[in-house]
Amino acid sequence: MAKRRSAERGDTLLELLMAVAVMGIAVVAVTGGIAVSIRMSDVHRKQAQAGAYIRDFAEAVEKAVMATPSGYVPCAPAGTYDSYYTLPSSFTRPTPTPVKYWDGTTFGASCTADKGVQQLLLRIDSSDNRVSETLVVVIRKPCRSSIDYPLDAACS
């Protein structure tokens, strides 16, 4: 039997186990990084969608208020303007849209006499509750002076 040289010796079992353990840790780290990347990509996509939907909601309210004399509701209760925009099924409104009323100096929660200015807090959430978007919109009663729409006292 020929004697082996030290350069021809194979790897020991311990060395192979250590190499497999190091590779396993590396694979777990890479897989975890990919999972986080996928989740964050989903969150960013939903944030972009939520931003677009909340702006669409605000524009729908503005368009409805300007289009007809009944679009602006004096002393409107919460949720009055929600019907002006239908959200996609992947987003929800957590509560009816609250309305605050201008009293001449500040916006308040109670409406004694409508001065023609209201503040809406538009909010939508993703259905998985990962994303929420909020927008504050101030709407003003349109001032019209025609036969169909007599000039409102607050506009003069």
CA-based nearest residue to 113, from 151, 75, 155, 150? 75
DSSP state for residue 101 in the 8-state scheme: E
DSSP 106-122: SEES--SS--SEEEEEE
Contact 97, 78 (CB under 8 A): yes
115 lies in some domain = yes
3 lies in some domain = no
CA-based nearest residue to 85, from 77, 76, 97, 75? 97
Cα distance between residue 69 and residue 144, in whole Å: 9
7 lies in some domain = no
Mean pLDDT over each residue of the chain, to the nearest integer: 86
Residue 28: both structure tokens together: 């777990």
Residue 95: pLDDT above 70? Answer: yes
Residue 151: pLDDT above 80? Answer: no
1 lies in some domain = no
142 lies in some domain = yes
pLDDT in tens, 10-25: 778 888 999 999 999 9
20 lies in some domain = yes
- Work out the burial of residue 64: count CB atoms within 10 Å of its CB; fewer than 13 is exposed, 13-18 middle, 19 or more buried: middle
Q: What are residue 117's DSSP bridge partners?
A: 140
pLDDT in tens, 51-69: 999 999 999 999 988 887 6
88 lies in some domain = yes
CA-based nearest residue to 134, from 86, 78, 75, 91? 91
Our count of domains for the chain comes to 1
Domain span at residue 111 reads: 12-155
CA-based nearest residue to 79, from 64, 63, 94? 94
2 lies in some domain = no
